[in-house]
């Protein structure tokens, strides 16, 4: 990966597997300008999971769509952005055990999201439930 500031070559100075989110965190150092920045490597779920909706159609799983729905549910919180980011990781982590051969049912995503929200913030869970369940 090239430097986000100058486009120069970078090297990895530190790396850690984040087990809960199934990501690899890396600290990179630019050999040209000396800047440092972090990267997170994770599976591209839109290439791994398919979602079957109520009308039986199959669409790729888009993590961003899940994030947006969780964000909307948390919008009343001042920490909505960070909350939705962490909640997205938690939901994806739990969906992994339901993704049989890469296939997820859309209602399973909704139920899992609702359950995760219900443990986190009642108002967010109620909002989500009204829209998705």
- Asked if 14 interacts with Zn ion (CB under 5 A), we say no
The minimum distance between CB 130 and Zn ion, in angstroms, equals 48
Residues 6 or more apart from 52 whose CB is under 8 A from it?
58, 103, 104, 105, 106
The minimum distance between CB 9 and Zn ion, in angstroms, equals 9
- Asked if 37 interacts with Zn ion (CB under 5 A), we say no
Can you tell me which of 21, 35, 103, 110 binds Zn ion, judged by CB under 5 A?
Answer: 35
Instruction: Please name every residue paired with 18 in a beta bridge, in sequence order, or none if there are none.
Output: 23
Burial class (CB in 10 A: 0-12, 13-18, 19+), 49: buried
Residues that bind Zn ion in the complex, under the rule CB under 5 A: 3, 5-6, 8, 30, 32-33, 35
């Amino acid at each position: 990966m090239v430097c986000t500031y100058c486009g120069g070559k970078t090297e990895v100075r530190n790396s850690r597997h984040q087990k809960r989110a199934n990501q690899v965190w890396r600290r990179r150092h630019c050999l040209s300008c000396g800047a440092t920045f972090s990267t997170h490597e994770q599976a591209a779920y839109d290439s791994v999971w398919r979602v079957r909706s109520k009308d039986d159609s199959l669409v790729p799983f888009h993590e961003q769509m899940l994030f947006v729905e969780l964000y909307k549910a948390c919008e009343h919180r001042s920490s909505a952005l960070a909350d939705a980011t962490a909640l997205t990781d938690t939901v994806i982590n739990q969906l992994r055990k339901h993704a049989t051969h890469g296939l997820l049912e859309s209602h399973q995503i909704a139920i899992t999201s609702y359950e995760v929200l219900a443990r986190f913030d009642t108002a967010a869970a109620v909002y989500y439930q009204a829209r998705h369940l």
